[in-house]
């Protein structure tokens, strides 16, 4: 299977480890990723609150390029994913098709679509194929899946998973041998970019998530969105510094967790760059 890859701004920078683990894991599962040549920023939050056209055209250009490659897109970042999916929907309207042609000279006929990492893993590759590749079942770990709000709730479009109670990542965690913890805040907002601009507010949101995961017995949190991972990790780290009695929860991308279960080393999975390390994990996996 071949997929066009849209890293977006995060996956080559702060989400480097996520990117690496995605390539490792998908490589093992027989999925070739071809990075979209000359891809541009999807616009994320800034574009869609500024200008309607920009909000659609920025992601639309990437869609057009991918369509030219004849491949569906994997966009691991939830925000990128949502912007691309919304653009696919909006491009059904003539005005945006026209604007795309005029601005970029490109066209998009809707022949390809954008997928998130969970849809690729649990939808396209499938649980059976993944199960075959599990070499080091991570037994004894209680892991909370954190979906974040963007991957779950996309307006007016049918989502891969349930909007309020998604479970695909939980099932993936089950496959790795760990125990998936069901907790109520799995699709609640982490604060997103407010992590930079409105720190107290963000701490309230993310703090609630971390407390919630802990209350339900989680020992680690796995994420799909690089921003979620960043926010939760920072919030947890900061919280731990301020309240030494509280043990911070390690937060990593789902593919890093999956990589460990598939037999990759801790180093390969990028555990060392986590702010909060799941200490016990090191005993289970190889260095």
Partner 1 sequence: MKQANPSNEILISGGGVSGMRAALDLAETGYKVHLVEGSSDIGGLAKDLEKSCMRACCASASGPEGQGEEEMVRNDCFLCTLDPLLVEVKTHPGITVYNNAKIESIEGGPGAFKAVLSSGKWKTELETGAVIVATGLEPFDASLKSELGWGRYPDVLTSVEFEKLLIDAASPGGKLARPSDGKIPEKIAFLQCVGSRDVNVGASYCSSVCCQYAAKEAMTARTYSPETSITIFYIDVRSHGKDWERFTDRAKDDFGIVFKKGLPSRVTGTPGNRALILRYEDEETGEYREEEFDLVVLSVGLVPGESLRETAKILGIQLTDHDLIKVNPPDEINTDRAGIFAAGTVTGPCDIAEATARGSAAAAAVGELIPEGRLKKDEKKYPPERDITGQEVRMGIYLADGLPTALAGAARNIPHTVHVEEGLKPGEEGLMTLRRTIAKEKLNRVLIAGFDPDMYNGVFREALRETGLNPYLLEVTALSETGLPGPVPEKKAVEMLKRAAARTAKLRPLYDSKFPVNKSALVVGAGVSGLNAALSLARQGFPVILIEKESEAGGRLRKTVKTSSGMETGPYLKDLLKQVKGEPRITLMTGSTLKEVSGVVGDFTSAVMTPSGEQEIDHGVLVIAAGASEYRPSEYMFGEDERVITQSDLALKMAAGTFPKDKTIVMIQCVGSRSDEHPYCSRTCCADAVRNAIDLKAQNPDRHVFILHRDIRTYGLAEDLYREARDAGVNFLRFDEDMPPGVEPRKDSLQVRIYDTQLRANIAITADYLVLSCGWVAGKSNEELAGTLDTVLDEDGFFVPAQEKFYPQDMECEGMFMCGGCIYPASIEEAVTQGRAAAGRAAAILAKEELAGPPMHAVVDPDLCASCLSCVRLCPYEAPFINDEGKAEVLALVCRGCGICVSECPAKALSLELCTDEQVLAELEVVSAL
Least Cβ distance, residue 215 to partner 1 (angstroms) = 5
For partner 1, the closer of residues 101 and 163 by Cβ is 163
For partner 1, the closer of residues 27 and 184 by Cβ is 184
Interface segment toward partner 1; rule CB under 8 A; list 12-20, 89-97, 161-169, 234-242 = 161-169
Count of residues that bind partner 1 according to CB under 8 A:
11
| 169, 147 contact by CB (below 8 A) | yes
Q: Indicate the SS3 state at residue 221.
A: strand
List 70, 182, 243, 267, residue binding partner 1 (CB under 8 A): 182
Stretch 210-249 residues interacting with partner 1 (CB under 8 A): 215-217
For 69, other C-beta atoms within 10 Å of its C-beta total 15
Interface segment toward partner 1; rule CB under 8 A; list 71-79, 163-171, 194-202, 235-243 = 163-171
- For 2, list phi and psi in degrees, rounded to 5: -120, 140
Least Cβ distance, residue 217 to partner 1 (angstroms) = 7
Interface segment toward partner 1; rule CB under 8 A; list 43-51, 88-96, 110-118, 157-165 = 157-165
Q: Could you tell me the two tokens for 276? A: 């909060």
For 222, other C-beta atoms within 10 Å of its C-beta total 27
For partner 1, the closer of residues 147 and 264 by Cβ is 147
| 133, 262 contact by CB (below 8 A) | yes
| 63, 88 contact by CB (below 8 A) | yes
Cα 123 from chain centroid (whole Å)? 15
For partner 1, the closer of residues 30 and 184 by Cβ is 184
For partner 1, the closer of residues 155 and 244 by Cβ is 155
Least Cβ distance, residue 124 to partner 1 (angstroms) = 24
For partner 1, the closer of residues 174 and 277 by Cβ is 174
Q: Could you tell me the two tokens for 53? A: 């056209």
- Using rule CB under 8 A, residue 162 touches partner 1: yes
Q: Is 243 exposed, middle or buried (0-12, 13-18, 19+ CB in 10 A)?
A: exposed
For 254, other C-beta atoms within 10 Å of its C-beta total 29
List 94, 128, 164, 283, residue binding partner 1 (CB under 8 A): 164
| Rounded Cα distance, 200 and 205, in Å | 9
- Using rule CB under 8 A, residue 184 touches partner 1: yes
| 262, 237 contact by CB (below 8 A) | no
- Using rule CB under 8 A, residue 94 touches partner 1: no
| Rounded Cα distance, 24 and 242, in Å | 36
| Rounded Cα distance, 3 and 75, in Å | 10
- Using rule CB under 8 A, residue 163 touches partner 1: yes
Stretch 61-80 residues interacting with partner 1 (CB under 8 A): none
Q: Could you tell me the two tokens for 97? A: 């098709």
Q: For the window 242-271, what string marks contact with partner 1 as x by the rule CB under 8 A?
A: ------------------------------
- Using rule CB under 8 A, residue 131 touches partner 1: no
Contact residues: partner 1, CB under 8 A: 162-165, 182-185, 215-217
């Amino acid at each position: 299977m071949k997929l066009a890859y849209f890293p977006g701004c995060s996956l080559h920078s702060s989400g480097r480890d996520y990117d690496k683990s995605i390539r490792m894991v998908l490589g093992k599962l027989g999925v070739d990723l071809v990075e979209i040549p000359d891809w541009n920023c999807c616009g994320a939050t800034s574009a869609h609150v500024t200008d309607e056209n920009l909000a659609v055209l920025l992601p639309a250009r990437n869609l057009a390029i991918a369509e030219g490659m004849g491949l569906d897109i994997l966009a691991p970042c939830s925000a990128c994913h949502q912007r691309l999916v919304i653009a696919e929907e909006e491009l059904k309207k003539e005005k945006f098709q026209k604007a795309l042609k005029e601005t970029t000279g490109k066209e998009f006929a809707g022949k390809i679509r954008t997928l998130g990492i969970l849809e690729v893993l649990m939808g396209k590759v499938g649980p059976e194929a993944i199960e075959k590749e599990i070499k080091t079942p991570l037994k004894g770990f209680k892991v909370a899946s954190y979906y974040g709000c963007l991957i779950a709730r996309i307006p007016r479009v049918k989502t891969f998973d349930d909007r309020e109670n998604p479970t695909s990542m939980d099932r993936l965690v089950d496959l790795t041998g760990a125990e998936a913890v069901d907790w109520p805040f799995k699709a609640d907002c982490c604060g997103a970019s407010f992590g930079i601009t409105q720190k107290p507010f963000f701490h309230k949101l993310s703090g609630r998530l971390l407390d919630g995961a802990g209350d339900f017995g989680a020992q680690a949190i796995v994420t799909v969105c690089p921003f979620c991972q960043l926010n939760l990790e920072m919030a947890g780290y900061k919280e731990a510094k301020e309240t030494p009695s509280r043990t911070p929860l390690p937060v990593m991308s789902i593919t890093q967790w999956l990589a460990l279960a598939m037999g990759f080393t801790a180093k390969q999975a990028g555990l060392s760059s986590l702010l909060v390390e799941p200490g016990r994990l090191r005993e289970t996996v190889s260095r």
